Amino acid sequence: MGGTTAQIDTFVGMTREAAVDRVMNTNNNPGLPGWGAFDTGDENWREQEKMIEWWVDRMITAPPTIEEKLTLFWHDHFATAREKVGESRLMWDQHLVLRNHGQGGFRNLLGRISFGSAMLIYLDNESNVAGAEQENFARELMELFTVGNGRFSEDDVVSMAKAWTGHNTVGATRENNWKYDPTYVFKAGEHDNSQKTLFGIRKNWDAADTLDELCFGVKATATSDYLARKMFQFYVHTNPSQAVVDDLAAGFRASNLNIRQLLRSILLHDEFWAASSRYALVKSPVEFMVDILRRNGLRSRDESVRWRMEGMGMTLFDPPTVAGWGSNDFWLSTASAWAKSRWVNNLKWQADERGILQNLDNLDPDQVVNVILTFYSIFDASQRTRDYMRELIVTTRAEREWAMAYEPYAVGMFAPEVQCA
């Protein structure tokens, strides 16, 4: 999730390997709070807001390691929305799985998410019963979580749904006064024990068998290809060649789908370090906000982040669909630009309170431009960006006795370079 200029400076002079090893070392990351930190009784909306604020603050303050961005990747990949799930508690349980198991074996992560209450509810597997199958989870498990579209048949969807029948939550029972109980339970009476043909193999498939087959069996190539491509696109750029993906996928398979192995290969990849990959991704609103907040010494509560991120089109724990959020063009709308520009325009007054813009009076306009862009770790801004920040400084100074650079500072946050990674 980036870092301050000072943090970035500590990486100067390291080899690629050493730098990657350092960000991959998550052993010293701070511990995690218990549910009690968010529990309000039954105010799910407020609980979600507290979870968002906690996560944003953690992204701002945690040491620069892979943990936060990788957790965001998995939240997007296994997109589940509090709006449908209802209970924020279940989203927190899922978040802990993404965080605590997001760096190990993919099969383990996939299983914990699939059998987790949040997902069972979100994709309706709680109503998937033998004889009246419900295909929602079965389809997305293949299309979005593992092999990708076009790599399974409609017959596979039918068989997959049957294999997942009976895997459920306790639900609302008489014993519990019809109060909904989200605890996982296998309802043997609702499970289909028949012979089913899945991926051309005929047997009595059960849920866990299907995950093994997707990860290690006949679908291992498709799954490793899908995940390698998606992770590369999240971290590097959106157009990897098939050869690059094949190479990453082969290594991923050889490690039995070890996530750290795949991520490490991506972070060490020549294309990750290539000049052409600089500015190849548009920052998502959460990445943009975290970067700005951190550099300005702010925390989530200072800026009511939930409301801000909603305006920018990205509310944590509430992705728009099971496909999650998109990338690049997905974030480029007038609506999102309005929300961002309005926010940074308000932030400019913080610069005064925090003394960020002191001692600029004696600098010439070009030096002020450099100070502001350096504040955002932009060392390679285009001439056009520099020219018009400079013009703004000159015209502002011409009008005022004092030269506090509020406007150039705000516009700097909004510079096209600052919004890309």
Which residues contact other proteins (rule: CB under 8 A)? 124, 127, 129, 131-136, 139-140, 143-144, 149, 154, 157, 278-282, 311, 313, 320-323, 326, 328-339, 341-342, 345, 382-385, 387-389, 391-392, 395-396, 399, 407-408, 410-411, 414-417, 419-420
Give the position of tokens 């992204």.
59
In the complex with other proteins, the residue whose CB is nearer, 108 or 136, is 136
Query: Can you give the C-alpha Rg of the chain in angstroms?
Result: 24
In the complex with other proteins, the residue whose CB is nearer, 239 or 359, is 239
Pick the closest to residue 248 from 225, 268, 276, 270 (CA basis). 225
Pick the closest to residue 372 from 417, 344, 403, 410 (CA basis). 410
Residues β-bridged to residue 195 = none
Beta strand extents in 297-408 (DSSP E only): none
Give the position of tokens 């510079």.
415
In the complex with other proteins, the residue whose CB is nearer, 262 or 282, is 282
Angle, CA of 284, 286 and 290, to the nearest 5°: 120
Token reading at 15? 């080899």
Q: How far is the CB of 275 from other proteins (least distance, A)?
A: 10
Q: How far is the CB of 128 from other proteins (least distance, A)?
A: 8
Q: How far is the CB of 392 from other proteins (least distance, A)?
A: 4
Residues 6+ apart with CB under 8 A from 76: 234, 319, 324, 325
In the complex with other proteins, the residue whose CB is nearer, 203 or 342, is 342
Distance CA 166, CA 412 (A): 55
**84 contacts 125 by C-beta, under 8 angstroms:** no
**208 contacts 111 by C-beta, under 8 angstroms:** yes
Q: How far is the CB of 393 from other proteins (least distance, A)?
A: 9
In the complex with other proteins, the residue whose CB is nearer, 11 or 338, is 338
Q: How far is the CB of 313 from other proteins (least distance, A)?
A: 6
Residues β-bridged to residue 129 = 132
Q: How far is the CB of 335 from other proteins (least distance, A)?
A: 3
Beta strand extents in 204-299 (DSSP E only): none
Q: How far is the CB of 270 from other proteins (least distance, A)?
A: 18
Q: How far is the CB of 373 from other proteins (least distance, A)?
A: 12
In the complex with other proteins, the residue whose CB is nearer, 216 or 414, is 414
Residues 6+ apart with CB under 8 A from 127: 134
In the complex with other proteins, the residue whose CB is nearer, 33 or 326, is 326
Distance CA 217, CA 356 (A): 57
Q: Quick check: helix, strand or coil at residue 421? A: coil
162 CB burial (10 A radius; 0-12, 13-18, 19+):
buried
In the complex with other proteins, the residue whose CB is nearer, 14 or 335, is 335
Q: How far is the CB of 336 from other proteins (least distance, A)?
A: 7
In the complex with other proteins, the residue whose CB is nearer, 2 or 102, is 2
